[in-house]
Amino acid sequence: MFERVTRGGIGVLGILAAAWGLHLLWVDRPYIKTLNFGEWLISGILLHDLIIANVVLLVGWLLAKLLPPHLRGFVQGALTVIALVGSMAFFVIWRQGTASSPALALLRQNYVANFGIIAAAVVVCTAVLYAFSLRTIRKSRPE
Amino acid sequence: MPSLKLRLPSTPPPGWPSEDRGRLHHESVTARLGSAVGIAFGICFVTGVLSHYQSHPWAWLPPPATPAGGYRFTQGLHVITGFASIPLLLAKLWSVQHKLAQWPPVRSVLHALERASVAVLIATALVQLTTGILNTLQYYPFKWPFASVHYGMAWVVIGALLLHIAVQLPVIRRGLATKLDGPLVDEHGLTRRGAVTGVGVGVGIVGLTTVGQVVGPLAKVALLAPRRPDRAPQQHLPVNRTAAAANVRKTAVSADYRLTVRGTSTRTLTVAQIEAMPAQTRDLSIACVEGWSRGATWTGPSLLDIVAMVGGTADSVVTISSLEKGGFSRSTITAGQLKEALLATHLHGERLTLDHGYPLRLIAPDRKGELQTKWVDTVVVSNV
């Protein structure tokens, strides 16, 4: 009973919040190019479901085929971290150097190099963890 | 309600993709990632509403002046959480990727509505985060006004998220109750615990390498931060809009420049007269809506002293206008912020540069950067 009331309450709150948001967007409609807005909404889902999701699936499948079982988990972990950091790095790499003036101190870093440093650090940390795990396995084997 | 049930074959058609995507796609992983997304979106929503309130306050509840760094904290948190939400949301979507292949795709009208609400949540969340980050990069490839649509869509996102939580609550509880014990990797690869840890590390790195645009001591590791306030070429502080972009390069340095103060009477002041007024020095940060911030030392006459020249008091409503025309040309200041505000002439002991608002700029505590009006030329005092 308590859970039903809780779920009902959260649901009603959600519907009211979304309705208020839609009302605000409706008020703004003279300033919104509706077709462009719709394109963005649909593109986000298509980009994710058709491209990003399938690339991830393909990479996972390749790792399973190509890597030995013990190494696979470490590579999966490192790639997960690098890919997630890359999802943010993509934007700053894409727009690097495009700020209108140096006074803004905006997008003036070498993001390709910076992302490389982060990726390299992840690889090194993963390699160290892998080396430790190999050592643990060797030690646990009977002589 | 049997009439609402949809009748589809019990087995999928030939060629339909398999729903089995391995052991990582499990509700224990999804519930944890989903909870993190929920918390992150909740933080973004609350801090976003606070930011919106700075620009659209109720008259009876003016934005406070304390704590002085309040907006700096909430907006910094808003933007850094937004950055971290990008990888977090992608990871959450990955964890439920297999549901795209579920059969039947819809079981009933109610189920179709639920899936439609999830589609709305995903579409709006992806657009909200993408356009949010593009705004911090000052890039606007979309054809709608960013601020008002970002605010309206925030309500849609949070509403759709609450609805999703209401529908999925039993699954979330079951997933969170399932422990993720054991190693991070085993003989089959990454474990569920390893996957959640990997996402946590990735999201943590995004946070750590961007938060330096708000937290000065972490600037050295701000490898992915769009802004580097510590590397600003002018007076150790970035600007968000230059004098050239605001088209005030001539008017701001013109010999004809006068500050007009209107209240029960009208006064006009030259730059020399303003500089001759008793000055105060305050340490106040500039906190931009785009998330970056930096502390600075400002000097100039108290705004309240100028307001008093035309009969105003601390209870007045004061509108500050700029030489600049357009969206950021005017702001209103009242109550606590008014009492503490300066019309700054100097930054870090040096005369303001043109890009920082020469000859005069407003600076007040706990105030959104775009409301710290630059190139001030008119002060209007009402409710005197």
Mean pLDDT value across chain B: 95
CB within 8 Å: B156 and A22: yes
CB within 8 Å: A18 and B160: yes
Residues B187, A64: Cα–Cα separation, whole Å? 12
Nearest CA distance, B51 vs chain A (angstrom): 16
Domains of chain B: which residue ranges? 2-226, 243-382
Q: Is residue A23 situated within a structural domain?
A: no
pLDDT at A70: 84
Main-chain phi, psi angles of B297, to 5 degrees: -110, 120
Distance in angstroms between the alpha carbons of the first and the last residue of chain B: 65
Per-residue pLDDT, averaged over B223-250, amounts to: 96
Kindly report, residue by residue over B193-207, the tens digit of the pLDDT: 999 999 999 999 999
Residues B95, B104: Cα–Cα separation, whole Å? 19
Res. B185: pLDDT tops 70: yes
pLDDT at B383: 80
Kindly state the DSSP code that residue A32 receives in the 8-state scheme: S
Q: Is residue A7 situated within a structural domain?
A: no
pLDDT at B84: 98
Band (B1; pLDDT cuts 50, 70, 90): very low
Q: Which of A83, A14, A31 is nearest to B144 (CA)?
A: A31
Kindly report, residue by residue over B101-158, the tens digit of the pLDDT: 888 888 888 889 889 999 999 999 999 999 999 999 999 999 999 999 999 999 999 9
CB within 8 Å: B184 and A117: no
User: Between A47, A89, A104, which is nearest B240 by CB?
Assistant: A104
Q: Which domain holds residue A143?
A: 67-143
A21 in contact with B, Cβ within 8 Å: yes
Res. A142: pLDDT tops 70: no
Band (A143; pLDDT cuts 50, 70, 90): low
**Share above pLDDT 90 across residues of chain B, in percent, rounded to a whole number:** 86
Q: Is residue A43 situated within a structural domain?
A: no
On chain B, the residues whose CB falls within 8 A of the CB of A68 are: none
- Topology of the domain covering B243-382: Sulfite Oxidase; Chain A, domain 2 (3.90.420)
Is the link from the previous residue into B62 a cis peptide, with omega within 30 of 0? no
Contact indicator for A103, B242 with CB cutoff of 8 Å? yes
Kindly report, residue by residue over B268-313, the tens digit of the pLDDT: 999 999 999 999 999 999 999 999 999 999 999 999 999 999 999 9
Put simply, the chain A residues between 77 and 116 with a CB less than 8 A from any chain B CB are 77, 80-85, 87-89, 91-92, 95, 98-109, 111, 114-115
Counting the structural domains of chain A, the total is 1
Q: Is residue A73 situated within a structural domain?
A: yes
Kindly report, residue by residue over B69-84, the tens digit of the pLDDT: 999 999 999 999 999 9
Residue of A nearest to B87 (CA): A84
In terms of DSSP bridges, do strands B342-344 and B346-347 run parallel, antiparallel, or are they unpaired? unpaired
Contact indicator for B224, B208 with CB cutoff of 8 Å? no
pLDDT at B187: 87
Kindly state the DSSP code that residue B384 receives in the 8-state scheme: -
Per-residue pLDDT, averaged over A127-133, amounts to: 95
Residues B173, A47: Cα–Cα separation, whole Å? 31
Per-residue pLDDT, averaged over B7-19, amounts to: 83
Q: Is residue A125 situated within a structural domain?
A: yes
Contact indicator for A115, B242 with CB cutoff of 8 Å? no
On chain B, the residues whose CB falls within 8 A of the CB of A84 are: 87, 90-91, 198-199, 202-203, 205-206
Per-residue pLDDT, averaged over B231-260, amounts to: 96
Take residue B384 and report the two structure tokens written for it: 């005197």
Contact indicator for B51, B78 with CB cutoff of 8 Å? yes
pLDDT at B2: 47
pLDDT at B20: 76
Residues B172, B165: Cα–Cα separation, whole Å? 8
pLDDT at A1: 82
A124 in contact with B, Cβ within 8 Å: no
Per-residue pLDDT, averaged over A110-118, amounts to: 98
Band (B384; pLDDT cuts 50, 70, 90): low
Residue of A nearest to B101 (CA): A49
Q: Is residue A1 situated within a structural domain?
A: no
On chain B, the residues whose CB falls within 8 A of the CB of A46 are: none
Kindly report, residue by residue over A48-94, the tens digit of the pLDDT: 999 999 999 899 889 989 999 889 999 999 999 999 999 999 999 99
